[in-house]
Structure formats: structure tokens, C-alpha cells
Structure 1
Amino acid sequence: MTETPAPKWAKPALEFGPILAFFAAYLWLKDHTFEIGGTEYAGFIVVTAGFIPVFLLAMAALWRLTGHLSRMQVATAVLIVLFGGLSVWFNDPRFFKMKPTLIYLLFGGLLGIGLLRGQSWLQVVMDGVMPLTDKGWTILTQRLTVFFLGLAVLNEAIWRTQSEEIWVYFKTFGLTAAIFVFFMTQGSLFRDHALAEEETGDDKDDKEGET
């Protein structure tokens, strides 16, 4: 029996669907207060509590669909469960708002540690996605390290100085747009440091010859 390939929209829908669902639910419930077990919970906390299982179900479906999850997706899931759970447990939205800060600090910090060791850990994770020279990977890793650390600082500034609603808009659209713009501006890097098809083909032949 031949398996039917998953539609192309399924993967992005599973990745971004829970985020958009969080945004829509927040707009719907932001001005509501719910009493559960004698404790009052703001709409933000209720939406956060609902977001955690929705996100985990989406990641499980994505794993079933693709057969794997990236280290970044796994780390994100762990932090969402941890800090989302803390926000619900302590009835304090600050934990969940700090989650993007810690995610980007984690990613930026790990890339930075790799650079200090003379390695591009980004290359290890994404080498099959973007064939670049070693120098290209180093430059991209340096830029992405600074970018992630900048996003961590920006998230802290937004949630600590702006309203909750502004932070939700920033988290839903601002962070996604920032990452998209970052990679769009790396066109010259990808062009100048891309591996030629002949070179990648030679590498592949060499690996096959070694086996």
C-alpha cells in the first residue's frame, strides 16, 4: 500500500497554527476573568494554559508527518511547557513572557560557545539545508548569534515596558517578521559563499567512495 504524501501546507500549518491560535484566543479572552477552584485567572493565563497542549499536539503531529523534530523545536517545546506551566501554576504571566528571552539566549549562547571552540554548530544542524563554505557558515553563525542575543534583549524591553497586548502582537508577528527579514538580508552571503554543484557532487562521490 502506497503512502499518500502529506500536503505541502501541513508542515507550516503545524508550526505556525498554534501561535496564531494563541493570538486569536488572546484577542477573544483578554478582557475576561475566570474563577477556577476559587482562584481568579486573567484571560492571558487561561489562553497560556490552553496553548501548551495545543502546541505539544502540533509538535507530535509534525513528528508523525516528518519523522523528526529539530533540536530547536524540542528546546522550544520544553521551555514552553516549563515557563507556560510556571505562569499557570503561579498565576503570573511574567514567566511566559520571559520564555522568548530564554529561548534566544539559549540559541545565541550555544552558537557563541561553538564559535569560541572554533566550530559552527549551526553548520552541524543545517548543513543539508544550505550548502555553504566553512567560512560562509562561520560568518552566518556570527551574525545569527548577535541577532538572537538582540532578540532576547528586545523581548525583555517590550514585555517590561509595553502593555500586554503590544507584547502579544510583538511575539506573534514581530519576532517572526524579524527572523524572516534577517535571512532575506543574507542574500549576498548565500551567493558569495555557496558551494558549487560540482563541489557538492565531488563531496558526495568522495563519501560514497569511502563507504
Structure 2
Amino acid sequence: MSDRSRRHWVRYFVDYSALVIFLAAYFLTGRDMVQASWALVAGSVLALLVGLIVERRIAPFPAIAGGAALVFGGLTIFFDDPRFLKLKPTIMNSIFGAALLGGLAMGKNPLKLVLGEAFTMPPSAWKRLTLNYALFFFALAGLNEIVWRTQPDTTWMLFRFPGLMILTLLFSIAHAPMLMRYIPSDERPPPPTE
């Protein structure tokens, strides 16, 4: 396995292992979300340690997600109340949406800081992409509120993972045509010959 391939697997592990462990623990504990929170907290610590050991750093997004899982999972355990975990996607997505809109309001572009080297887009395209993602994060926050307040815990768990991941992937794929126009020409695949 190449070094680059190994790094991709490590990133997937760091990003998703805690959620997979949490989901598995939920079903293994007889659908007890508070008990499964112990697995979420342990899985988050493990994921961050693996990222630190293998990559010799903790990437910003896994650090934020892992830190939030520790805080909300810890609150769920301490207060014996799963509502803290159910509120986590609402709060985190709202923070992400507000950060993107706040950046735009201050004349900055947070997405450009993250993706700037991969795409060379004009300011208007960065602004549109940032606004789209901000609105998407707010929509996810609202959708989470609807699901956890109206559906059984098992439905919310499956919505949380893999549901939110699937929605995010589909949303990102929908932006692929726009982004493809701005990939530097030396990185684009060659046109078909036939």
C-alpha cells in the first residue's frame, strides 16, 4: 500500500471511526444512547490519537469533530440525557453556517482558505460556493431538529450516520460541475481520444 493510500485510510478512520463505533455500540447496548456515548467518547479519543501518531498532527476538522464529540458525549453521560448528543449536529452545523456567513460579511472567504490551492476561482464563484455551503449547513441543522424531535431514536441514529454523510456527499457532488471548471489545467485529466 502506498504512503498516499495509507494516509487516505487514516483520514477516513479519523473522520468516521467514532461514528461507526457509536452506531455499533447503540445497537449492541440494546439501543441505549447514553451507554453508547461511552463508545463515542472512547472512539473519538482513539481516532484523534491514531491521527496524531500516524500523521504527526491533528488536522483541524477532525479536531473540531472529535472535540465536539467529547464535549457532547461527556454531557450526555454526565447528565444521563441523550438530548445533548441529538443537539450536537444542530449546534455544530449552525456554527459552521454562521462562520461561513460571518467570513463573507467580513470580506473574507473561509472556504478559499481550505480549498484555495485546489481551485483557482474568481471571487464571485468563491462567494457563491461559500453561501451555498452556509445555507446547506443551516438546512442540516434544521433537518436535524425535525428528525430528532419527531422520530424514534433509531431513525435519528441512522440519520446522524450515515444519513448526514450521504447528504453532504450528494451536496458536494452537485457542485462538481462548477468546481471542475476551476481545476488548474495541468491537473485536469486528458480529454478522451475517441
TM-score (structure 2 length as normaliser): 0.86
Specify the alignment match of 1:46 in structure 2: 35
Query: Considering only aligned residues, what root-mean-square deviation do their CA atoms show, in Å?
Result: 2.0
1:1-211, aligned counterparts within 5 Å? 5=3, 7=6, 8-31=8-31, 43-197=32-186
Alpha carbons 1:11, 1:62 under 8 Å: kept = yes
**Cα–Cα, structure 1 residues 163 and 147, in superposed 2: closer, same or farther, change >3 Å?**
same
8 Å contact kept, 1:45–1:91: yes
Give the 3 Å change call, closer, same or farther, for CA 130–66 of structure 1 in structure 2.
farther
Distance between the aligned counterparts of 1:194 and 1:142, measured in 2? 20
Contact 1:56 1:77 in 2 (8 A): yes
Q: Deviations over 1:157-177 (max 9, x none)?
A: 110111000000000111000
Aligned residue type for 1:11: R
Cα distance change of structure 1 residues 100 and 60 upon mapping to structure 2, 3 Å threshold:
same
Partners in 2 of 1:131 and 1:27 — Cα distance? Answer: 45
- Alignment identity in percent? 26
Tell me the amino acid that sits aligned with residue 177 of structure 2. S
TM-superposition CA deviations, 1:81-106 (whole Å, max 9, x none): 11111111110000111011111011
TM-score of the superposed pair, with normalisation by structure 1 = 0.79
- State the one-letter code of the partner of 1:135: S
Structure 2: gaps (5+ residues): 188-194
Q: SS of the residue aligned with 1:119? A: coil
Amino acid of the structure 2 residue aligned with 1:152:
A
Moved more, 44-53 or 168-177: 44-53
CA distance in 2, matches of 1:68, 1:189: 32
1:133 and 1:194 in contact (8 A); partners too:
no
CA contact (8 A) 1:108 1:146 kept: yes
Return closer, same or farther for 1:9/1:74 CA change in 2, 3 Å cut-off. Answer: closer
Which residue identity is paired with 2:13? A
Q: Is the 8 A contact 1:18 1:58 kept in 2?
A: yes
Structure 2 CA distance for aligned equivalents of residues 192 and 130 of structure 1:
9
Deviates more, 1:120-129 or 1:147-156: 120-129
* Deviation of the 1:195 alpha carbon: 4.3
Query: 1:83, 1:96 within 8 Å by CA — same for their partners in 2?
Result: yes
Gaps in structure 1 of 5+ consecutive residues: 32-42, 199-211
Q: Which has the larger radius of gyration?
A: 1
Which amino acid in 2 is paired with 1:23?
L
Cα displacement (A) at 1:189: 1.3
Q: Number of paired residues?
A: 184
Contact 2:21 2:39 in 1 (8 A): no
Asked whether the equivalents of residues 136 and 190 of structure 1 are also in contact (C-alpha less than 8 Å), the reply is: no
